[in-house]
Amino acid sequence: MPPPSEPAEAVRPGRPAGPGPDAGRRPVGVGLVGVAEPAVGSGPVRAAPPRPVPALLAAAERHLRVDGAGGLAAAMTRSHLDDGRCVGWYGPPTPGWRVAVDAERAGAPVPAALARRFGRADFWARWTRAECFCKLADVPVAAWWRRHGLGVPPETPAVWRTLRLADLVVTVAFAPLPHPPRG
C-alpha cells in the first residue's frame, strides 16, 4: 500500500477478490479497500454506494487528524488510542450513510489470546475493520467475534478503507442507513 504521502489509487467497484478471508466478495480499488455487496434478502439497505463515499475513502488521509482527545472534539467520529492520542474523521456529511473510524498503533504487540484466536497476520488491519463494522452495526465486539471473527460478513453493505497513517493502522468505514420502516 502506498505511504500516506503518495496518492491512493482511484476507488473502482467490481474488481474480483483475491484469495483470503474476503474471497468471493467484490472489493473496491487496491490494497485494503473493500466493499461487500449485500446478499439477496439481507434487508432494506441501499444497493450501491453513491459516488461521494468511494471518493471520500480514496482521499481518507485528507479527512483524518491525529491529536489528543480534546483537540478532536469537533470530529464527526473518533477512535481513542492506548497512548492518549485520538484519530478523528473530518470528512463532509454523507446523507444516508453512517461513518466509523478505528485506529491502533501498528507496532503494538498483538495480545496473546487474540493472536491464538485470530492469528497475527495483518491483525491490526483486520481488527480495526471489525471494530468499524461493530460501530456501524451497534454490536458489541465480543458478540461480533462469535459470529464473524475478524472477517467480513457476506451480507454487509459496508465500504471501507484501511491505511497506514504515520505509526497507525486506521480503518474508515461507511454503511448505508436502513430505509425507514413503512407504516
Q: Is 93 exposed, middle or buried (0-12, 13-18, 19+ CB in 10 A)?
A: exposed
Per the CB < 8 A criterion, the answer to whether 26 and 37 are in contact is yes
Which value, in Å, is the radius of gyration of the alpha carbons in the chain?
Answer: 16
pLDDT for position 106: 96
The pLDDT confidence band at residue 148, using thresholds 50, 70 and 90, is very high
Strand arrangement of the beta sheet that strand 77-80 belongs to: 64-68, 85-89, 77-80
> What is the distance between the alpha carbons of residues 119 and 103, in angstroms, rounded to a whole number?
19
Asked if the model's pLDDT at residue 86 lies above 90, the reply is yes
Asked if the model's pLDDT at residue 141 lies above 70, the reply is yes
Per the CB < 8 A criterion, the answer to whether 1 and 119 are in contact is no
Q: Which three cell numbers stand for residue 93?
A: 456529511
- Sign of torsion over alpha carbons 22, 25, 31, 33: negative
Helix axes 141-148, 123-137, angle to 10 degrees: 110
pTM of the model: 0.73
The pLDDT confidence band at residue 182, using thresholds 50, 70 and 90, is low
Average pLDDT (25-29) is: 31
Average pLDDT (6-22) is: 29
Q: pLDDT tens digits for 71-84?
A: 888 899 999 999 99
Q: Which three cell numbers stand for residue 127?
A: 481488527
Asked if the model's pLDDT at residue 144 lies above 80, the reply is yes
Poorest-pLDDT segment among 46-55, 128-137, 145-154: 46-55
How many Cβ atoms from other residues are within 10 Å of residue 18's Cβ? 8
pLDDT for position 73: 86
pLDDT for position 44: 40
